[in-house]
Amino acid sequence: MYAKVIVDVPAKDTNRAFDYIIPPSLEPWVEVGSRVGVPFGSRVIQGFVVELRESSDYELHKMREIKHVLDPIPPLNGELVELSRWMSRKYACHEITALQAMIPGALKAKYERKIIVSGPKAQPPVEDDREREIIDYILSKESLSMEQLLRRFPADGPLLKEMLIRGRLAEEQEIKDRLSKKTVLTVFPPENPQLLEACLAQLPENAKRQRQLIEHLQTNPEPVKLADLSKRQGISSSAVKALADKGWIALREVEVFRDPYENRVFERTTSLQLTDEQQAIYDEIAASLRMRTHQVFLLHGVTGSGKTEVYLQAIEVCLNQGREAIVLVPEISLTPQMVERFKSRFGDWVAVLHSRLSHGERYDEWRKIQMGKVKVAIGARSAVFAPFSNLGLLIVDEEHEASYKQEENPKYHAGEVAVARGRQSRAVILLGSATPSLESYHRTQTGEYKLLKMPSRVQGRPLPAVQVIDMREELKAGNRSMFSRALHQAIEDRLQKQEQMVLLLNRRGYSTFVMCRSCGYVAGCPHCEISLTYHHNSRTMRCHYCGYAERELNSCPSCKSAHIRFFGAGTQRVEEELVRLFPGIRVIRMDVDTTNQKGAHEKWLQLFRSRQADVLLGTQMVAKGLDFPYVTLVGVIAADTVLNLPDFRSAEKTFQLLTQVAGRAGRHHLPGEVVIQSYTPEHYSIQCASMHDYSRFVAQELKLREAREYPPFWKLILVTLSHGQIPLLVRAGETLADEIRQQWRRLSRHATDAGGDGRLEVLGPVASPISRIKDRYRFQCMIKYRGDVAISGIMDGALSRLEDTVSKEKLQISVDVDPQMMM
Ligand code: ADP
Ligand code: ZN
Ligand code: ZN
């Protein structure tokens, strides 16, 4: 047998599969998705098996053998390998980079592994002779690697594997960055209960504690953790030790999966009676699941419309079919509250994957999926790679969230990957949001996705009333505070009524754009219709798209006022101001500074939930998914901070943020109120958000995007080049841009003849918004295209022109397909 292997050398020359011979002893272990060690040049390196073959076209005498298999159970499967191929084409990354992104970090660490027998040593269950022999052999060895075991039992590959999957054998690995696997001392009663009788008869009357233990085991014959025995039954561990020494019972270390939620008790919930709106949507999704067809649904449900209940019941349909489900949630929304809703419905069938878990915890959760012990995986971005093999449903909650895009290589978008994976495995995809992204919404118009709508909140609760305050008027009226009179009044009112409030300040807009406080004028680029960014060091204002720059302004070009300045106020300043204006006010400030410790985020939310604070003040993190019954006021300090970011999505992001944060108010019996402060209250994103009018917003925004040649009509690829010397960078950037243009000209001549409608433009090279990082300068080219463009061929061709500079001069090139971050 032969294997095609993608080796772990991320370079252009090696971005293809190499052929290797599978030695007969390894044949039962090598599958598509296996990680293997293979000779490559003079070294042995890691690789992933992507295909098995009976024959090879490669010259046999030159071919080498796979040296070893790294994991007894492959970490990936055929479906994920296929997905990595798709990713490498879509995101212009090496296949190995995509493959490595799919496996948990713990697997990448250096480790040694050995095979151990798990389960009771003293009383093995009925096994066949072969199995007995294998177990005895392992027990007789101090430490045994899988390879040694294979060498000893060359014909028993399938049995060994089966024992591993069954859990009779396990591989134990010491991973440097974690304290090996977690084990607990466990007490095993003898399998034959009569032995307990015999033991009791032999124990002296005064051995009270030992008697107590035996009596307990008589009524509870299951293996039990030693710690539980002493904690819950008050049985001393010395009594256990004494009986174990005499051989009546067995005491062994048993591996446990670390469960970060192990100390929480989840009350079981059952399905709620769906509302009519929910029912209609559920019926559509369930029908698609039952037909086992691939279909992408975009569920546009206003905040509080009960999307989660629809998710839960759709998952139930999927599980009943014997298929598995993945739920993606933005990292920030993956709170215990969120997890609880899934755990309390599906109990131990749920694995949770998120980055706040330690490497080891994450690995354990991942292995539950790999071993088929769970059927539902819920997690952030990378959970889209959960190694299920019979996937029926993929849910992407808050699908519009920018955090689904990974900003490091491979720069994938988890929602896009979910759709691609679903297409492969004929699964149903459910994208949900109160503010769907323009990209997804557009696809419902072209017929790629199907739009489902839930326009009302459950139980007839109204959406909150929204007031937009014109801050220019406040200034005119002599109010220079950061709180308008209306917001001031509303805060005072809530303090009196002992209700709670959420105040939002978007820090991402900190000190970046230049605005007139008298008339709301914002300095924009004459060529790009986006705002200029203030650069403090050079005292200039710059365009991040085309490179246009001008000197900072001393007065407003529009109204001549001197109240022009770069804009932004930190959360800390808002907190100080609150405390000054409302003595005794209890404020919880949540921003990157106060939540960078593990568990801090949850601690603050818990504190707020228990009403030990009046105000939850923060950045975007307070806008998403939170559900507090006593919140009746939501205040947005400055809606414009996002609006003026140099990003073509700024209106969309403003609309989303305002809608999401407004959705935090009045979710329960108390009605909610929202106050939005703005210097440009007439802007359509603010107007539409204040009227909860998504349709009007998308209609207007889509028109603008088309006119300005932005996504979703045009596609973007951002290529960033970095190097220590500017002249080299500029040359490389120009080579790249020229090459792309030339390739396109050549191709489009044929394409147009064939009736193609493709268009392509290259902007740049210009200095990147962050023009230097770690002493490396950065330049970028933006490629825009639409219609019939064979983009991956063009990119490949152009990038290969720079191969030499990359290898000889250490030029770095980063390609970001469908970029989310423009700064
Ligand atoms: P969304 O995610 O759409 O913002 P949620 O799923 O959080 O909304 O639902 C809002 C509230 O409505 C939750 O407290 C939820 O328990 C409740 N809810 C959802 N569906 C129903 C239903 N069919 N009957 C009663 N309450 C429901
Ligand atoms: Zn002005
Ligand atoms: Zn510009």
Confidence band for 752, pLDDT divided at 50, 70 and 90: low
Contacts of residue 480, Cβ cutoff 8 Å, sequence gap at least 6: none
Confidence band for 405, pLDDT divided at 50, 70 and 90: very high
Is residue 444 in contact with ligand 1, taking CB distance under 6 Å?
A: no
Question: Which amino acid residue places its CA nearest to atom 16 of ligand 1?
Answer: 306
Q: Which ligand has an atom closest to residue 302 CA? A: 1
Question: Which amino acid residue places its CA nearest to atom 12 of ligand 1?
Answer: 306
Give the torsion sign (CA, 292, 296, 300, 301).
positive
Confidence band for 612, pLDDT divided at 50, 70 and 90: very high
The pLDDT of residue 222: 76
The pLDDT of residue 176: 39
**Ligand 3 mean position to 649 CA, how many Å?**
15
Tokens of 566: 């770069």
Ligand 1 atom nearest to CA at 663? 4
Instruction: For strands 715-723 and 812-817, give the pairing.
Output: antiparallel
Q: What is the DSSP string of 138-157?
A: HHTSS---HHHHHHHSGGGH
Tokens of 725: 């010397």
- C-alpha distances in Å from residue 36, one per residue of 19, 86, 283, 314, 467: 13, 22, 45, 38, 61
Give the whole-angstrom CA distance, residue 515 versus residue 512.
Answer: 10
Geometric angle at alpha carbon 732, from 727 and 738, rounded to 5°? 125
Confidence band for 536, pLDDT divided at 50, 70 and 90: low
The pLDDT of residue 178: 41
Nearest Cα to Cα of residue 438 among 654, 277, 762 = 654
Name the residue type at position 7. V
Question: Each residue of 83-138: pLDDT tens digit?
Answer: 999 999 999 899 999 999 999 887 876 556 678 887 654 445 556 788 888 888 88
Give the torsion sign (CA, 289, 290, 292, 296).
negative
Among 267, 395, 458, 627, residue to substitute to test ligand 1 (most atoms within 8 Å of Cβ): 458
Instruction: Flag whether 688 is marked binding.
Output: no
Is residue 308 in contact with ligand 1, taking CB distance under 6 Å?
A: yes
Confidence band for 186, pLDDT divided at 50, 70 and 90: confident
Question: Each residue of 416-427: pLDDT tens digit?
Answer: 999 999 999 999
Confidence band for 180, pLDDT divided at 50, 70 and 90: very low
Name the residue type at position 757. D
For residues 704-724, average pLDDT: 93
For residues 478-492, average pLDDT: 94
The pLDDT of residue 691: 93
**Ligand 2 mean position to 556 CA, how many Å?**
5
Is residue 118 in contact with ligand 1, taking CB distance under 6 Å?
A: no
Looking at the chain, the whole-number percentage of residues with pLDDT higher than 90 is 45
**Of 820 and 509, more confident:** 820
Give the whole-angstrom CA distance, residue 107 versus residue 370.
Answer: 13
The pLDDT of residue 628: 85
Confidence band for 509, pLDDT divided at 50, 70 and 90: very low
The pLDDT of residue 113: 66
pLDDT of 710 higher than 80 = yes
Contacts of residue 727, Cβ cutoff 8 Å, sequence gap at least 6: none
Output phi, psi for 591, to 5 deg. Answer: -150, -175
Instruction: For strands 533-535 and 540-542, give the pairing.
Output: antiparallel
Give the whole-angstrom CA distance, residue 127 versus residue 158.
Answer: 16
The pLDDT of residue 182: 60
The pLDDT of residue 712: 96
For residues 71-88, average pLDDT: 93
The pLDDT of residue 122: 42
Are 79 and 425 contacting, i.e. CB atoms less than 8 angstroms apart? Answer: yes
pLDDT of 741 higher than 80 = yes
The pLDDT of residue 596: 63
Query: Mean pLDDT, the chain, as a whole number?
Result: 86
Question: Which amino acid residue places its CA nearest to atom 13 of ligand 1?
Answer: 306
Cα 26 from chain centroid? Answer: 35
Burial of 408 (0-12, 13-18, 19+ CB in 10 A): exposed
Task: Answer whether the bond into residue 712 is a cis peptide, omega within 30°.
Answer: yes
* pTM, full prediction: 0.79
**Ligand 2 mean position to 144 CA, how many Å?**
77
For residues 384-398, average pLDDT: 97
Question: Each residue of 265-319: pLDDT tens digit?
Answer: 666 778 889 999 999 999 999 999 999 999 999 999 998 899 999 999 999 999 9
Question: Each residue of 619-632: pLDDT tens digit?
Answer: 777 776 677 889 99
**Ligand 1 mean position to 308 CA, how many Å?**
7
The pLDDT of residue 175: 44
Name the residue type at position 597. Q
Q: Show the domains of the chain with their CATH numbers.
A: 2-109 (3.40.1440.60), 116-164 (no CATH), 183-255 (no CATH), 276-460 (3.40.50.300), 465-512+568-707 (3.40.50.300), 715-817 (3.30.70)
With H, G, I as helix, E, B as strand and everything else as coil, classify residue 238: helix
Question: Each residue of 40-67: pLDDT tens digit?
Answer: 988 889 999 999 999 888 877 788 999 9
> Which of 233-237, 517-521, 584-588, 589-593 shows the highest mean pLDDT?
584-588
**Of 123 and 614, more confident:** 614
Question: Which amino acid residue places its CA nearest to atom 15 of ligand 1?
Answer: 306
- C-alpha distances in Å from residue 474, one per residue of 80, 490, 682: 57, 16, 15
Is residue 722 in contact with ligand 1, taking CB distance under 6 Å?
A: no
**Ligand 2 mean position to 692 CA, how many Å?**
30
The pLDDT of residue 544: 67
**Of 600 and 274, more confident:** 274
Is residue 304 in contact with ligand 1, taking CB distance under 6 Å?
A: yes
Confidence band for 12, pLDDT divided at 50, 70 and 90: confident
Is residue 301 in contact with ligand 1, taking CB distance under 6 Å?
A: yes
**Of 512 and 115, more confident:** 115
Is residue 278 in contact with ligand 1, taking CB distance under 6 Å?
A: yes
The pLDDT of residue 705: 94
- C-alpha distances in Å from residue 210, one per residue of 201, 273, 335, 729, 785: 12, 52, 44, 78, 78
Tokens of 30: 């090598």
Among 117-131, 143-157, 582-596, 703-717, the range scoring the smallest mean pLDDT is 117-131
**Of 535 and 214, more confident:** 214
Give the whole-angstrom CA distance, residue 633 versus residue 645.
Answer: 26
Are 189 and 196 contacting, i.e. CB atoms less than 8 angstroms apart? Answer: yes
